[in-house]
Structure 1
Amino acid sequence: MAPPRISLEQWRALAAVVEAGGYAQAAVRLNKTQSTISYAVRQIEQRLGVTVFEIAGRRAVLSASGQVLYRRGRALIDEAERVEKTADNLARGQEAELNLAVEILFPTWLLLRCLECFAAEQPETRIELHESMLGGTDELLAERRVDLAVCTEVPPGFTGDRLAPVRFIAAAAPFHPLHQLGRPLTMNDLRDHRHLVIRDSGIRRTRPAAWLVTERRLTVSHKATSIRAACMGLGFAWYAESIIKEELECGALKALPLVEGAERWGALFLVYADPDAASPGVRRLGRIISDAVGGMIVATPTRGPDPGQGPGAAPA
């Protein structure tokens, strides 16, 4: 088999020119001279017999061939970095830092117990926690900014293990006007009141918010703000039952008597950013989370219809 005509460093040079916006910027990013970057790109063109950049006005832009080569070259660079990361993890045995994304419908108390358990076993490992929502989790996984994620949907291109069903219930403060109607409610009743929505934490926001039923909305960034707003009577929302357990028990929130849609079902999944490269520490944290969720299900049986039939949606 013939050796590759283009080196990984040359692919890195091409990617840097595209991503940084020019040869000079790429040279700064890679800490090389501009002539070195230009030479690397010329070598790609000459050895492969293609034109990578074309002149459009006063700017050099990727040609059609260049776009294909950039995408494939970027994939090679990413794969090489994953291989190196895998080797580093195997060599260290115990990593210095783990990055974890958890969608905010996951019970905070349970997450903290998992992190406490992991810290007791591996006290020297730092944990960077991202409390994310919808497309924000997808982006963290796609960009390999996290090693592991707990999410409501498995993003395209990834595989995940189902952790648990999630029951969502529509709720509001007991003194909210919807509870004062004294009768079963319809979706039309909700349209005259404020819907508390938790914002997608992704930059691109590719996933639409779920279950929007009215144009009257208060959109916030975190579940704690939404729950507090509901307790103050500022609106209603569908919440994962496990995250408002205390509010329901003490009477700060009360389930809305909806004729239809009072409860909805979703699911939680455990997803590794790169299963092959997952270090022992990442695997251990994943097992701790799986075991903790399993214990919670045993302690609190799910109610209602088969949760496996419901949509994997996030709270809104």
Structure 2
Amino acid sequence: MLPNPTLDQLQVFLTVADTGSFSAASRVLNRAQSVISYTIANLEAQLEVELFERSGARQPKLTKAGHAMLADARRLVADLEVMRARVKNLKEGLEAELSIAISVMVPSQAVVMVLREFRTKFPSVTVNLMVGELGEVMNMVATGEATVGIGGALMKQDDTLVAERIGHSFMIPVAAPFHPLAKLRRPLTLSDVREEVQMVVRDTSGITNGRDFNVLSYRTWRVSDIAIKHQLIAGGLGWGGLPASVSRDDLNSGKLVQLDLPAYEQGEYPIYSLHKIANPPGPATAWLIDRFRNLLSMCPSHSEFQEQLAALTSMQEAAE
């Protein structure tokens, strides 16, 4: 007789594999550990293979058969979630409320423009807007706090999320014009910046614990968000990277200067729209994502941004 595993058995199997133990799976699923063990045993009996090695190990380890089954189980569960979500969307129609998590890397002008148009097109939809740093956008969508996320980086694999690239952004190393690094007026080396205070945003989501990005100084100040970081850098208390969309006006006005720091990674990185597989975009959410995609596709690349700054600098020098 062909095996006929149930959805519940597959979900329990995936939870044990993801959490690393039967006890952890029991806590996540809010079931007794004996029920978890019984469910896995029944699944193994149905498939006629052992999925976990239990003898001589403190924690169950996937067997070769278990590893082979893992991808199939994820696909089957995900397909069912898609079907459930499609039915939910057909039944519910237009969303009554939309919770949006937006990264600070998304230009504020684009956010205001999209939401102004959204209010006109969907006047009955209530909007809850949250702004996040680093892994916060992904975390808010994954936990259900936000319906959709715009921006952010995919800090970890999450098979419950759908991520679609809709734009890009990049960081610019900057300082106040009276900061010691700005006064050097030459390409900076690591030894130049090591002892200068670098402003660094703390990831409150916890996803990036133990990892730093573009932290080059030995002396760092950890701040809660980009807005505070921006103010402290403009006040001359340190140097650091700011999103191009945040620093553009201050670079144009001379309130900030770009640091020529080759060691600072300034490559473009993608901006995503994020939503849960189990909660697909309704009409209003789909419109919002598409409008952001259209606007962000017009954002300048890193090289184009540098050319714009160079042209502005030349014009300012000519005027002087």
Report if TM-score (shorter chain) is over 0.5.
yes
Aligned residues: 297
1:149 match = 150
**Equivalent in 288, 291, 308 of residue 288 of structure 1:** 291
Deviation at 1:5, TM superposition (A): 0.9
Q: Are 2:53 and 2:60, in contact at CA under 8 Å, matched by a contact in 1?
A: yes
Look up the match of 1:48.
47
Give the RMSD, CA atoms, in angstroms. 4.4
Give 3-state SS (helix, strand or coil) of 1:163's partner: strand
TM-score (norm 2): 0.69
2:196 aligns with 193
Deviates more, 1:123-132 or 1:168-177: 123-132
Q: Secondary structure at the match of 2:60?
A: strand
Deviation at 1:40, TM superposition (A): 3.3
Q: CA deviation at 1:93?
A: 1.6
Residue of structure 2 in register with 1:309 after alignment: none
For each residue in 1:139-180, what CA deviation from the matched residue of structure 2 results, as whole angstroms up to 9, or x when unmatched? 66778875443246798897644535x464332123322344
- Residues 170 and 263 in structure 1, CA contact (< 8 A), matched pair in contact too: no
Establish whether residue 163 from structure 1 lines up as the match of residue 164 from structure 2: no
1:22-101 aligned within 5 A: 22=22, 26=26, 29=29, 39-56=38-55, 61-64=60-63, 65-66=65-66, 68-69=68-69, 72-101=72-101
> Aligned-pair distance for 1:236?
0.8
Shift of 1:196: 1.7
What is the aligned-residue identity percentage? 22
Q: How does 1:157-306 map to 2 (within 5 A)?
A: 160-163=164-167, 166=169, 168-181=171-184, 183-187=185-189, 188-200=191-203, 203-205=206-208, 209-248=212-251, 251=254, 253-256=255-258, 258=260, 264-273=266-275, 277-293=280-296, 302-304=304-306
Deviations 1:10-58 (A, max 9, x none): 2234445564954797399366x77765553332122211234444469
Are the counterparts in 1 of residues 104 and 131 from structure 2 also a CA contact under 8 Å? no
**Residues of 2 paired with 1:242 and 1:233: CA distance?**
20
User: Secondary structure in 1 aligned to 2:293?
Assistant: helix
SS in 2 for 1:239: strand
Name stretches of at least 5 consecutive residues in structure 2 with no aligned partner: 309-320
Instruction: Measure the CA separation in 2 of the matches of 1:155 and 1:35.
Output: 31
- Is the Cα contact below 8 Å between 1:193 and 1:235 reproduced in 2? yes
Please, which moves more after superposition, 218-227 or 71-80?
A: 71-80
Q: Which runs of 5+ in 1 are unaligned?
A: 307-316
Counterpart CA distance in 2 for 1:173 and 1:27 is 51
Please give the TM-score of this superposition, normalised by the length of structure 1.
0.70
Please say if residues 197 and 220 of structure 1, whose CA atoms lie closer than 8 Å, have aligned partners that are also in contact. yes
Greater alpha carbon shift after TM alignment, 214-223 vs 11-20: 11-20
Instruction: Tell me if structure 2 keeps the 8 A contact 1:193–1:216.
Output: yes
Q: Secondary structure at the match of 2:228?
A: helix
Q: Compute the displacement of 1:87 (Å).
A: 1.9
C-alpha contact 1:141 1:149 (8 A) present in aligned 2: no
Matched, 1:108 2:124: no
Letter of the structure 2 residue corresponding to residue 173 of structure 1: A
Instruction: Decide whether the 8 Å contact of 2:108 with 2:245 is kept in 1.
Output: no
Deviates more, 1:221-230 or 1:205-214: 205-214
